[in-house]
Amino acid sequence: MKRITLLFFLLASINAFAQKETLTKDDLVKELQPFKTTVQTLQNENSKLKSEVSYLKKQLSSVNKSVDNLQTQMQTNSNAISQTANELGIKISATETNTNNKITEVGKMLSKNSLYGIIAVLCAIILSGLLYWLLSKRQKIDKIQLSNIIKNTKTELTQESAKLDIQLLDVIEKQLKIADKLNAAETTVDHTFHKNSANELQRIANYTNTLDTESQEAIALQGSLGRLRNYFNASDYEINDFTGKEYDDRIPMRIRETIFDDSIAIGKEIVIKTWEPQIKFKNEIIQKAKIDTKYNK
């Protein structure tokens, strides 16, 4: 652009000089000297501009190379990132697949174990129920058998005890007859055997009261006891059993135990058991009754 301007300026000057009449060489040199200086200056500037342009080209080339290197590095990095991403994707996919497979396997194992566990629990419950049923059934059978054995044994013992007591009452009756004959020959009557016999009779009577009144043993014992009481009464002895009767403090008695019972009428006291009967000889008390009572006062 500067060259065009300079050329235009020169042409204009030459045209101006051509229009003048006649110029000398010196005049022309003088006239052209400023232009020469200007041209020289422009050439110097042009040279500087060329140097600057060359430097800028070199800088631009260096920058382009740097840019190319950066682009190359970026492409390399991009390729590396893509490759890494692909490898990671593959590894993640493989890991996910393996994990899913393991989870599936674990799930199957858990399902099988759970199934086996449920089956085992059900079997255990069924077996326990069966064992409990068998044991309960066996226990009931054993209980029934044991109850029958106890019942039969108790019945046998009751029968044997009743037989022994009946035999004892027969022996007592015979001994009383002998004691009465001995007392008839003595001036002083000894009541020892009669007291002991009456106490034994009371013991057997208390035992008889625990039996079923309809049982053969109870009926047989009541018969023997009644016969012995009749013998006592015929020998001037009287035996009184106060069991079940209302307590009368006017009658001399020995109270062994007394208990409170609100089921009876208020102000009442009942004899619940006679341990030793009252014994009279010719209407004279020779033994006080020994009793238990219950009361509500």
Please tell me the predicted confidence (pLDDT) of residue 169: 86
Q: Which two tokens stand for residue 199?
A: 């106490």
Q: Is residue 245 part of a domain?
A: yes
Q: What's the rounded Cα separation, in Å, for the pair 19 and 21?
A: 7
- Say if 258 falls within a structural domain: yes
pLDDT at 7: 52
Flag whether 226 is in a domain. Answer: yes
- Least trusted range by pLDDT, from 13-22, 168-177, 180-189, 284-293: 13-22
Interaxial angle between packed helices 25-184 and 216-234, expressed in degrees from 0 to 180 and rounded to the nearest 10: 40
How many Cβ atoms from other residues are within 10 Å of residue 104's Cβ?
Answer: 10
Domain boundary among 204, 235, 266: 235
State the CATH number of the domain containing residue 294: 2.30.22.10
Q: Are residues 278 and 246 in the same domain?
A: yes
Please report whether residue 62 resides in a domain.
no
Task: Please give the Cα distance from 277 to 244 (Å, whole number).
Answer: 13
Q: Which amino acid is at 55?
A: Y
In a domain, 186, yes or no: yes
**Rounded CA separation 219/159 (Å):** 12
* H or E stretch at 68: helix 25-184
DSSP H or E segment with residue 234: helix 216-234
Residue 226 sits in the same domain as residue 276: no
The predicted model gives 84-94 an average pLDDT of 67
pLDDT confidence of 294, banded at 50, 70, 90?
very high
* End position of a domain, from candidates 219, 235, 251: 235
167 or 52, which is more confident? 167
Query: What does pLDDT average to over the chain?
Result: 79
Residue 255 within a domain? yes
pLDDT, mean of residues 88-115? 69
If asked whether residues 243 and 180 sit together in one domain, one would say no
Statement: the pTM of the whole predicted model exceeds 0.85: no
Distance CA 107, CA 40 (A): 95
Q: pLDDT at position 31, please? A: 63
**263 contacts 288 by C-beta, under 8 angstroms:** no
- Distance from C-alpha of 29 to C-alpha of 197, rounded to nearest angstrom: 193
Length of the chain: 297
Cα(24)–Cα(236) distance, integer angstroms: 212
Task: Look at the chain and report how many structural domains it folds into.
Answer: 2
Q: How far apart are CA 83 and CA 89, in angstroms?
A: 10
Q: Does position 34 have pLDDT exceeding 80, yes or no?
A: no
- Of 25-39, 82-96, 180-194, where does the model show the most confidence? 180-194
Max mean pLDDT range (16-20, 150-154, 195-199): 195-199
Q: Is residue 150 one of the residues assigned to a domain?
A: no
Q: Please, are residues 242 and 279 in contact by the beta-carbon 8 Å criterion?
A: no
Determine which helix (DSSP H) or strand (DSSP E) holds 257, and give its type and residue range: strand 253-260
Q: Please tell me whether residues 180 and 198 are part of one structural domain.
A: yes
Q: Which two tokens stand for residue 54?
A: 């060359």
Would you state the pLDDT for residue 106? Answer: 60
Task: Please report whether residue 249 resides in a domain.
Answer: yes
C-alpha distances (whole Å) from 238 to each of 178, 232, 273 are 18, 6, 18
Report which listed range, 28-32, 72-76, 276-280, is most confident. Answer: 276-280
Is pLDDT of 101 > 70?
Answer: yes
Q: Between 26 and 144, whose confidence is greater?
A: 144
Closest listed residue to residue 201, CA positions, set 229, 233, 174: 229
Handedness of CA 246, 248, 249, 252 (dihedral sign): negative
Q: What is the pLDDT of residue 246?
A: 94
Question: 178-226: per-residue pLDDT in tens?
Answer: 888 888 777 788 889 899 999 999 999 999 999 888 888 889 999 999 9
Segments forming the whole domain that contains residue 198: 163-235
> Using 50, 70 and 90 to split pLDDT, how confident is the model at 286?
very high
Read off φ and ψ for residue 122, nearest 5 degrees: -60, -45
Residue 255, pLDDT > 90, answer: yes
Confidence check: pLDDT of 21 > 50: no
**Chain position carrying tokens 């000894």:** 190
Domain stop point among 185, 212, 235: 235
Q: Report pLDDT for 63.
A: 58
